[in-house]
Structure 1
Amino acid sequence: MRKIFLHIFVSVDGFIESEDKSLDWMVGDDEVEDYINGMLGSIDSMILGRKAFELLAGYWPTAAENPSEAADPARPERHVEAAHMMNAKQKIVFSRTLKETSWANSTILGGDLAEEVARLKRQPGRDIALFGGAAITNSMMRLGLLDEYRLLVNPVMLGAGTPLFQGGRGGSTLQLVGSRSFDCGAVLVSYRPK
Structure 2
Amino acid sequence: MRKLKYHVACTVDGFIAHKDHTIEGFIPEGDHVTDYLESLKNDYDIVLMGRKTYEFGFQFGVTNPYPWTKQYVLSRTMETSPDPNVELVSENIIDFVRELKTGTGKDIYLCGGAYLATTLLTENLIDEIILKVNPVVFGSGIPLFSEAIKQTDLELIDSKIYKTGVILLTYRVKH
TM-score after normalising by structure 1: 0.82
Per the alignment, residue 23 of structure 2 pairs with 23
Give aligned-pair identity as a percent: 31
- The residue that corresponds to 1:61 in the other structure is 62
Match of 2:118 in 1: 138
Question: Within 1, Cα distance between the matches of 2:116 and 2:19?
Answer: 19
Larger radius of gyration, structure 1 or 2? 1
Q: Which residue of 2 aligns with 1:69?
A: none
Quick check: 1:5–1:148 contact (8 Å CA) kept in 2?
yes
CA separation of 1:21 and 1:102: change in aligned 2, threshold 3 A:
closer
Partner of residue 49, structure 1: 50
Match of 2:128 in 1: 148
Q: 1:54-73: per-residue Cα shift (whole Å, max 9, x none)? A: 1135437389xxxxxxxxxx
One-letter amino acid matched to 1:47: L
* Cα displacement (A) at 1:107: 0.7
Q: CA deviation at 1:16?
A: 0.9
Q: 5+ residue gaps in structure 2? A: none
The answer to whether the 8 A contact 2:6-2:110 is kept is yes
Q: Is the CA contact 1:28–1:184 (under 8 Å) kept in the aligned structure 2?
A: no
* 1:128-164 CA-partner distances (Å, limit 9, x unpaired): 1000011001111111110000011110010111111
Give the 3 Å change call, closer, same or farther, for CA 50–23 of structure 1 in structure 2.
same
Q: Which moved more, 1:144-153 or 1:94-103?
A: 94-103
Correspondence for 1:128: 108
Judged with a 3 Å threshold, the aligned counterparts in structure 2 of structure 1 residues 54 and 25 are, in CA distance, closer, same or farther, namely same
Given that 2:57 and 2:63 are in contact with CA atoms closer than 8 Å, whether structure 1 keeps it comes out as no
How far 1:124 sits from its partner (Å)?
2.2
Matched residues in 1 for 2:84 and 2:59: separation?
12
Distance 2:50 2:62 in 1: 18
Is 97-106 or 151-160 further displaced after alignment? 97-106
2:36 aligns with 36
State how far apart, in whole Å, the 2-side matches of 1:124 and 1:57 are.
31
Distance 1:45 1:94 in 2: 13
- Provide the C-alpha distance between the structure 2 equivalents of 1:164 and 1:110, rounded to a whole number of angstroms: 22
Structure 1 residue 21, shift from structure 2 partner = 2.3
CA root-mean-square deviation: 1.9
Deviation at 1:20, TM superposition (A): 2.9
The answer for the alignment partner of 1:71 in structure 2 is: none
In the alignment, is the contact (CA less than 8 A) between 1:61 and 1:87 conserved in 2? no
8 A Cα contact 1:45 1:127, kept in partner: yes
1:11–1:153 Cα contact (<8 Å) kept: yes
Query: Structure 1 residues 95, 7: closer, same or farther in 2, change over 3 A?
Result: same
Q: What secondary structure sits across from 1:117 in the alignment?
A: helix
Partner of 1:95: 75
- Note closer, same or farther for the CA distance 1:60–1:46 as it changes in structure 2 (3 Å cut): farther
Q: Which runs of 5+ in 1 are unaligned?
A: 64-82
What is the letter of the counterpart of residue 45 of structure 1?
I
